[in-house]
Structure 1
């Protein structure tokens, strides 16, 4: 029972990703409908057999306030795909303020990027333009759906319509 299951709200909007075990428990408790199953795979007990879920939908609508991705070191590195935004290195990663804190730079999605130690030290207390460094891509606030997609690595083709990827 390894793998991930996409959990949809009653209106088919993506809510979260859970384990297969959790999804089967929700199916057994009749809290979700099975939307998509993994072909020819079943979860068996001595007297029950469930199709292995890929996508489930809640039976009752869950009111969820606007979902925002928390600003954290881990999430910035995840957004930047674990690469230095200046040189592309994947070693010794840190977080860099594009506009340094000493010049009024804030801790926001739009001002923080992943940088390797050597690029961060070379940039120092200056802006990338002042040092002649270029960002691989501009920092941005990621969407919740983007993080659901990136959480599981490769996305099953059946999930794509629900994550607006098709």
Structure 2
């Protein structure tokens, strides 16, 4: 019983863009009140009442478009590490991780998604106040600004594969 209460439901706007994640209780209330429709459900789960049975929703879409100001994914340590798969972008280590400015701040580098990477303490110290090219280092992957869909798809791959067809993963 506990497993189904922990499952989350993906909420899409009228244009199918992801709006957020809600509990199953909230999703069912939205569908019963005709504010949303279910687009996908978890095959192996059902919700039973005294005289009715419902599919357990996995993805719902709102009937009315909600104008939600785009805020993007917040740039913070946790999200940066998550984007970089908790590994150093120079050597691949997962130990003693820090944040590195690819173009150092002293040389005009900004604190933004496209200039920050996860680096181990050793690589960050070795790079110092120089660019990777100046010290002969190479990035394993180029830094990018992740979308909400990028992080939701990571969750979906582990907990809700039913979401994947509704998540367009783009690198912006």
Please confirm whether the aligned pair reaches a TM-score higher than 0.5, indicating the same fold.
Answer: yes
Q: Which residue of 1 aligns with 2:78?
A: 74
Q: CA deviation at 1:81?
A: 1.0
**Structure 1 runs not aligned, ≥5 long:** none
**Structure 2 runs not aligned, ≥5 long:** none
The 3 A distance-change label for structure 1 pair 92 and 18 is farther
Higher share of residues assigned helix: 2
Q: Which residue of 2 aligns with 1:140?
A: 144
TM-score with structure 1 setting the length: 0.86
Q: Which residue of 2 aligns with 1:123?
A: 127
Hey, what's the Cα distance between the residues in 1 that align with 2:117 and 2:160?
A: 29
Question: In structure 2, the residue corresponding to 1:81 is in which secondary structure?
Answer: coil
Question: In structure 2, the residue corresponding to 1:120 is in which secondary structure?
Answer: helix
Q: CA deviation at 1:152?
A: 4.0
CA contact under 8 A between 2:11 and 2:59: conserved in structure 1?
A: yes
Q: Are residues 1:20 and 2:6 paired? A: no
The 3 A distance-change label for structure 1 pair 45 and 92 is farther
Stretch moving more, 110-119 or 12-21: 12-21
CA contact under 8 A between 2:100 and 2:119: conserved in structure 1?
A: yes
The 3 A distance-change label for structure 1 pair 153 and 30 is same
Q: 1:37 aligns with which of 21, 37, 41?
A: 41
TM-score with structure 2 setting the length: 0.83
**Runs of 4+ with deviation above 4 angstroms:** 45-48
